[in-house]
């Protein structure tokens, strides 16, 4: 008889043959930064996740550092939104302020910024609108201004999420020409037009006011196209490529792992977080175990890096051993 159970006899042997391990080092924790002062507001559809103003963010950062989380990714809720998202390009805007604050007070934290316009435009689309659609090439010029504002503030890595063609090449060139050759780019290379972003859009007030994002984000039905997107981003200079969302796209994460030799990140998005929280709250599942299983599955699929709202909770579990 073939006896595969021999290697499951006790914890020691199971530990010896375990193929995948999760570590706090794998996590990037997203932060929503409010420009309006004096705020700490829980996001209704994301229990446990808050929008913080800069004057309150230390509560959160102290905990992050204490738990051993090393990286954060920043999202903005600016005071002013307009048609072109001017605030995104402001060198003293909320994200440059946040980068300076964190690098000064928490120099050990690795700070990543989201490079996109949807949080800054009054229509919620990811760039300049022309004929009811995002105009690709003029948007690239504005993304260049945004990236320089973040670079000047001292950001460690940038992550363009807008799915405009040519973004990575354009940002790489702009960064290099301005002397920022050491700032890596993590491309949201394979980003689907997903309904799982709903809670994030509530959190960032960034739901499109007309239409949807299907002219720039990928069709969830497509798999080969993910290889094309990743190939292009790597050729354009992406240091890390990302798949987003994570859980319904584990096949895509594995495809990239099997095809490319660069680190792969996966974004465990807001809707995925919200679903687990809702089921957990109702007592329908063992929330902690399902959380760890799901993070493990993302890693096992091939992700080296996981961007997740669960980072703090998962760190607590891992630190407990």
Tell me how far apart the alpha carbons of residues 126 and 104 are, in angstroms, rounded to a whole number: 30
Name residue, tokens 């799901």.
294
Q: Which is nearer to ligand PBG, 112 or 116 (CB)?
A: 116
Q: Compute the residue count for the chain.
A: 321
Which residues ranging from 221 to 260 are in contact with ligand PBG (CB under 6 A)?
none
> Regarding beta strands 110-115 and 129-130, do their DSSP bridges make them parallel or antiparallel, or are they unpaired?
unpaired
Q: Which two tokens stand for residue 155?
A: 């950001």
Shortest Å, Cβ 14 to ligand PBG: 33
Shortest Å, Cβ 282 to ligand PBG: 22
Interaction of residue 269 with ligand PBG, rule CB under 6 A: yes
Strand partners, 187: 241
Span of 50-58, 90-98, 171-179, 195-203 interacting with ligand PBG by CB under 6 A: 195-203
Total of chain residues touching ligand PBG, rule CB under 6 A? 10
Q: What are phi and psi of 228, to 5 degrees?
A: -60, -45
> Angle at the Cα of 195 (from 98 to 140), degrees rounded to 5?
50
257 is catalytic: no
Name residue, tokens 């080296």.
304
Interaction of residue 200 with ligand PBG, rule CB under 6 A: yes
Give start and end residues of each alpha helix (H) in 106-177.
136-153, 167-177
Residue 156-175 contact track with ligand PBG, rule CB under 6 A, x = bound:
-----x--------------
The residue within the footprint of ligand PBG, chosen from 32, 120, 192, 197 (CB under 6 A), is 197
Which residues ranging from 94 to 123 are in contact with ligand PBG (CB under 6 A)?
114, 116, 118
Shortest Å, Cβ 116 to ligand PBG: 4
Name residue, tokens 């895509």.
252
Residue 27-66 contact track with ligand PBG, rule CB under 6 A, x = bound:
----------------------------------------
Residue 7 burial by Cβ neighbours in a 10 Å radius (0-12, 13-18, 19+): exposed
| Contact call for residues 32 and 203 (beta carbons, < 8 A) | yes
Q: Which is nearer to ligand PBG, 12 or 221 (CB)?
A: 221
Shortest Å, Cβ 84 to ligand PBG: 16
281 is catalytic: no
Name the catalytic one among 44, 152, 191, 294.
191
Interaction of residue 142 with ligand PBG, rule CB under 6 A: no
> Angle at the Cα of 299 (from 298 to 300), degrees rounded to 5?
95
Q: Which is nearer to ligand PBG, 71 or 270 (CB)?
A: 270
Strands (DSSP E) contained in 15-156 are 27-34, 40-42, 50-53, 71-77, 110-115, 129-130, 133-134
Q: Which is nearer to ligand PBG, 271 or 302 (CB)?
A: 271
Q: Give the rounded distance of the alpha carbon of 180 from its chain centre.
A: 22
Q: Which is nearer to ligand PBG, 95 or 234 (CB)?
A: 95
Which residues would be at the binding site for ligand PBG (CB under 6 A)? 114, 116, 118, 161, 197, 200-201, 206, 269-270
State the catalytic residues: 191, 244
């Amino acid at each position: 008889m073939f006896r595969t159970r021999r290697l499951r006899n006790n914890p020691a042997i199971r530990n010896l043959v375990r193929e995948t391990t999760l570590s706090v080092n794998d996590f990037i924790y997203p932060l929503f930064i409010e420009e309006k002062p004096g705020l700490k507001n829980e996001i209704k559809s994301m229990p446990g996740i808050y929008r913080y103003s800069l004057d309150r963010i230390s509560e959160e950062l102290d905990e992050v550092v204490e738990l051993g989380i090393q990286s954060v990714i920043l999202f903005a809720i600016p005071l002013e939104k307009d048609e072109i998202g001017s605030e995104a390009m402001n060198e003293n805007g909320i994200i440059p302020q946040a980068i300076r604050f964190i690098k000064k007070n928490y120099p050990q934290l690795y700070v990543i910024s989201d490079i996109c316009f949807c949080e800054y435009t009054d229509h919620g689309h990811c760039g300049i609108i022309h004929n009811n659609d995002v105009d690709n090439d003029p948007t690239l010029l504005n993304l260049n201004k945004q990236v320089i504002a973040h670079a000047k503030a001292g950001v460690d890595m940038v992550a363009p999420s807008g799915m405009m063609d040519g973004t990575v090449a354009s940002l790489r060139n702009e960064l290099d020409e301005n002397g920022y050759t050491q700032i890596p780019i993590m491309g949201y290379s394979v980003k689907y037009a997903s309904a799982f972003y709903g809670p994030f859009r509530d959190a960032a007030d960034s739901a499109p006011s007309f239409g949807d994002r299907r002219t720039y984000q990928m069709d969830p039905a497509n798999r080969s196209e993910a290889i094309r997107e990743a190939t292009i981003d790597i050729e354009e200079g992406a240091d890390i490529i990302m798949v987003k969302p994570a859980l319904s796209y584990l096949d895509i994460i594995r495809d990239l792992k099997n095809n490319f030799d660069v680190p792969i990140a996966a974004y465990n998005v807001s809707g995925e977080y919200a679903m687990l929280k809702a089921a957990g709250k109702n007592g329908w599942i063992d929330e902690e175990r399902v959380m760890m299983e799901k993070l493990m599955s993302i890693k096992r699929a091939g992700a080296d890096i996981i961007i997740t709202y669960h980072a703090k909770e998962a760190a607590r579990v891992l630190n407990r051993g």
